[in-house]
Amino acid sequence: PMQIRSDPRSGARLSALGYGCMRFPLTALGRIDADKAEALGLDSVGKGVNYFDTAYLYRGSEEVLGAIIEKNGLRGSVHIATKLPHGSCTSFEDFDRFLGMQLDRLRTDRIDYYLVHNIMSFEQWVRLVDLGIERWISEKKRSGAIGRIGFSFHGSQDDFMRMRDAYEWDFCQIQYNYLNENYQAGRAGLEAAAGRGLPVIVMEPLLGGKLASG
């Protein structure tokens, strides 16, 4: 049976394995094969997966995931995670513009786990603060459009420590596997987050499948 983890910040019960939607199967023309994606998604749900991770920048992924969830009546039993394309945000209004598109694509009125996507340097967060993102997050959490706020990280350990302390995050997401213990946030970042009681979601646990291939 699927192991379950309790989110200490919200009490949500998440499957130990989530489903990353960046690599949905593709057709010969390079578009997401919606039928195959649906079959895989439903098989995962049947095996106990209840956390699905997508992003604005994963071409076609949000739309396909939203259709799968709506068609199969899964919204009440799965947690949706998606990500803000912060590099495309140049004004306060852009935060609402992108979230609105994502809600439409995912056919929902709320994002359970929302991430600032692919932070590579602390300066990127400083730029967003200057645009007013902290006020925006508070407004969206208060309205219920965003459940939990976090960030996905691909920078240095030093910048991860600064990000950890820069805001009252509900969770973070880091790349971690047995080949990447000292890469990016790494084990030091994992332990630093745990030391602050900050929940960590691991991405690339098998390095995109490279650590699982023969």
Q: Tens-of-pLDDT digits for all 214 residues of the chain?
A: 999 999 998 999 999 999 999 999 999 999 999 999 999 999 999 999 999 999 999 999 999 999 999 999 999 999 999 999 999 999 999 999 999 999 999 999 999 999 999 999 999 999 999 999 999 999 999 999 999 999 999 999 999 999 999 999 999 999 999 999 999 999 999 999 999 999 999 999 998 888 887 5
Beta-sheet pairing, 51-53 with 19-20:
parallel
Q: What pLDDT shows up at residue 154?
A: 97
Tens digits of residue pLDDT in 37-57: 999 999 999 999 999 999 999
Decide if 122 contacts 162 (C-beta within 8 A).
yes
Residue 30, pLDDT score: 95
pTM of the model: 0.96
Return the pLDDT at 209: 85
**What pLDDT sits at residue 212?**
87
The reported pLDDT for the residue numbered 213 is 75
pLDDT the model gives residue 214: 58
